[in-house]
Structure 1
């Protein structure tokens, strides 16, 4: 039997209160430490990095596209590793290699110059290929594996209180994500983009050590059950049994719920990534400067936190199908906001729609999967869903960029998004919570 406390001084059995709350704290921090690999973290580095490497906006976006798409092919396999080895080791290696990737990224300009000199060429293709590789590393480790492992770990430790606990995590994560562009922008202005990435890498190295100390895979490994402790004697005496229906990935893929929720989450990943990646350029076209563009994340975050807090608490009691419809309606509002962004009302629609969608995204992406499909194969299922999100986030920057450079405005993206949301709305009308016997 493997030692779940190897390389650690912490023993959950001897903790003075339910260890799940420790998992909640460090799992939430783990999601925050994925920010350097998330679009919200990368976007602040877009302009200084592309300028330093001599790439156009389209070339930089395409490198992001290729690197992120490559990572999508491996995220599902990482989900299976989560089921096999648990969150602790998967998250540790994700955080460690994300730090290594950021160190390499900080020397990207020098590496590019050396390769150009060695190959005796000044072609833009050299830094382009280099960025493809680096984007693959940071996106796979950050957005993909570290996020999935940290979030799933928290959900493994709770059942009846899953929604309430996720509300606490969502508030922390939303505040961190909304404030990170401001922090990263300050670091870049004060230290430069190279040193900024090195500082973030050092923080990740430290956190990878904390992962080994505090991350734990599931309560059953320590004689605990989700939500609290139950001794074996008490279990026998009261004949307590936790009944949980678990779907394999293949079984989950046969349900309508898997695809409707998965594609709805992918839309949020697409829209948020495209908008965040080009947020400075989008608002520059409307006469706003860099500081004003970044400031838009604050009201979006306030709405997202408010919505996710209420929705998380209610998620333990109401059908998640309601959340799906609200998400789709919010997406339509946000898309209309981008469509009419030249009008002041467009900004309000964009903020309200994106804030509401993001708030519900935090609930559905964490709570719905274990609620609908169980915990046993949670890694494989969420890994597959994460591949949807990664692919969507890969396509977004390039599509947004080409709409601007070829058609002259970012607003044309909405002509694709609104019909897609209507399609999902119609497809979700007959959706129901999966049942292994009756659902088809």
Structure 2
């Protein structure tokens, strides 16, 4: 078993980085299923672990000395949850081990691995997953310490960089443009198409604005219903998209399936039914959900993330600089975690050393009445007995003796060149001044 807990961390999952959008539809895990998922984890032999399930990822994090077995078991669980064949899931899995897994956990918490850099939802989702797994008795000890370190990273990234302000600025810019198009948003209806990090952030902004009504439509009805409960909005069947579009003053689309959800003809029909009352459309999808020809329609005001970044006066360069600063924090906290763990590993040895010193001190005190000078000389001699004997035993092995000497010098901060009787580089005793002797 490794003495370094991070070396045992394994994270296995599927995310937006390696899974096509249409496949992600079958990977969504509703909140009500978390207990079942954790029960499946325990049944599969996981003593510690959590499941992070969002609209962009499903990942299992656990500690193990046999990562290959964990990866196989996690892949089978993900296949069972998704209904996909094992082979297909195996082809799409991303696997992180050891310190690379810890770095990934830190990046997820800090929203550096999100489709929208800096989005605020994933940290809350991670904390919810942590809480549920903790209540199920699946998080403690080393995994708990790693999660707390991840929260420290997220806090530092939010407070020390501009990364977290980017998506908020974009959402605020979208609200600003919507007000320019419609004026008072309290009379407006909003339509969310699909899910996604920016879509959820926009939903929060629209609720705060507020709008008269917000509805959500998604090709998968169960996903729509689960998201609507979380966001506090109504659900519209996907089959009613044309009617929902005609009723909407503001549309936020975030499916990113690779086809055009909002094509020119569909938007033109909606505008006709609206008697050319304008529609503000935010295309938050990558790849785009809105056909470029929609821009040609006079009453359709289409903005993508790049357009809104420019409105917010926070361009891609600033966002990339903020991301670099955030990654520097991730790496600094990785180093800090490693040093803390190394310190914990040294505690038993330090405890034993202290006990040894206390035992020798007690023996000296028990020898009878000694003045301070005699007692301290005896104490020093006895404490030096072990190191002296070890150096003598290593006398025939130059490399071993040199290593022992280096260790002593490092532990006690000593420099033999400054000791009385030390020799200079020529092998002669040092002249410490004072002229003729």
- Structure number with greater CO (CA < 8 Å, separation at least 6) is 1
Q: TM-score, normalising length from structure 2? A: 0.21
Flag the structure with higher helix content.
1
Larger Rg: 2
Flag the structure with higher strand content.
2
Q: TM-score, normalising length from structure 1? A: 0.20
